Structure 1
């Protein structure tokens, strides 16, 4: 029964599929899993900073919002895949890093992760261009590329601010700052 359903699903997807290569589908599946990896990493970071022995509510909130944003990105790509007739394949999400020395350590890790996610997006765009898929190029440009650059800049700025502070008091003040400002704008979640 399961095989019959899978065959029917593939046939339906093929009917609506146009100019959407298997290699682009595979690359988008990789991107979904990259976004979910970032989601889990930011969730681990958020709850590290929520621990009683760390108690940094601003940083907790910052990374919690980042986690939700990455999950939203994964869902956006999945909706797009369904529109294009692709098949979604969720992979295993690697275990996130769960311990950080301080806010600086976590922010540096976050910046490295954002650079990795951005490189994956650039690779998707390059492949879509090579495969002559302007719709996929437009989707990546309209929904991800500028946001990635903006997010990297904010993380780099936060790291620089903490470098200037270089103390537990600096971490405390930075945490208080994050309670009122952050890289994540209040957006309505689409359901």
Structure 2
């Protein structure tokens, strides 16, 4: 009983510092955390698909591994923010990722679909924060995510177009070599991950 009381007593202390943080925003941020973790797992599966001996695309492997790390960092950044605001982080089960793709183009197209979905959800979080008159949350989303998402979408769209023009194994090989030397989807994040 004392352990249970201790938990709720600590939880209460977290709540007393909560100010202007609507439960609807807390729920939407938890959804965003879980969406980021879903993307993290999908990118991780993609990275190791392209690392298989029968696929052998080290540049694509590196690119998607970096994207996985960036998505995890996004989730962690939102979790830290939730703690600052007095919210409660709620992690859900992560769905099983798609295990393999026909070629690099298919993987890139799937990545762009994921990025568009994540970006739309961030825009929805921002809109909700505006409706709830939460300028701090609006600022957090703007300062940490929105421009980076747009930049990442453009990079993926460009890569998709390059792969569409490549159209053969040699083109895919050269594209993979090119990816080995790039800074990733979000070069402004220091080439260490997003």
Q: Would you say same fold, with TM above 0.5?
A: yes
Q: Note the C-alpha offset of 1:43.
A: 0.2
CA distance in 1, matches of 2:9, 2:158: 51
Match in the other structure for 2:39? 38
Cα separation, 2, equivalents of 1:35 and 1:173: 30
How many residues align? The count is 190
CA-to-aligned-CA distance 1:73-118 (integer Å, 9 cap, x gap):
0000000000000000001111100110000000000000000000
- 1:117 and 1:134 mapped to 2: Cα distance? 21
User: Does residue 136 of structure 1 match 2:137?
Assistant: yes
2:103 is matched with 102
Separation of aligned partners in 1, 2:91 and 2:7: 16
After the TM superposition, which residues 26-175 of structure 1 pair with which residues of structure 2 at under 5 Å, given as runs? 26-175=27-176
Provide the rounded CA distance (Å) in 1 between the counterparts of 2:191 and 2:179: 20
Residue 188 (structure 1) shift: 7.9
- Counterpart position of 2:190: 187
Could you tell me the TM-score, scaled by structure 2's length? 0.94
Counterpart CA distance in 2 for 1:8 and 1:115 is 41
Shift of 1:187: 2.7
Matches of 1:152 and 1:132, distance apart in 2: 29
Three-state SS of the structure 2 residue aligned to 1:4 is: helix
Structure 2: 5+ residue stretches without partners: none
Distance 1:137 1:46 in 2: 32
CA distance in 2, matches of 1:178, 1:21: 42
Structure 1's consecutive aligned runs of 4 or more residues displaced over 3 angstroms after TM superposition are none
CA offset digits 1:10-52 (Å, max 9, x no partner): 3012111000011100000000000000000000000000001
Correspondence for 2:17 = 16
RMSD of Structure 2 on Structure 1 (CA): 1.5
Change (3 A) 1:82 1:189: farther
Unaligned runs of 5+ in 1: none
Partners in 1 of 2:6 and 2:172 — Cα distance?
Answer: 54
- Per the TM alignment, residue 163 of structure 1 is displaced from its structure 2 partner at its CA by 0.5
Q: In structure 1, how many angstroms separate the alpha carbons of the residues matched to 2:30 and 2:70?
A: 18
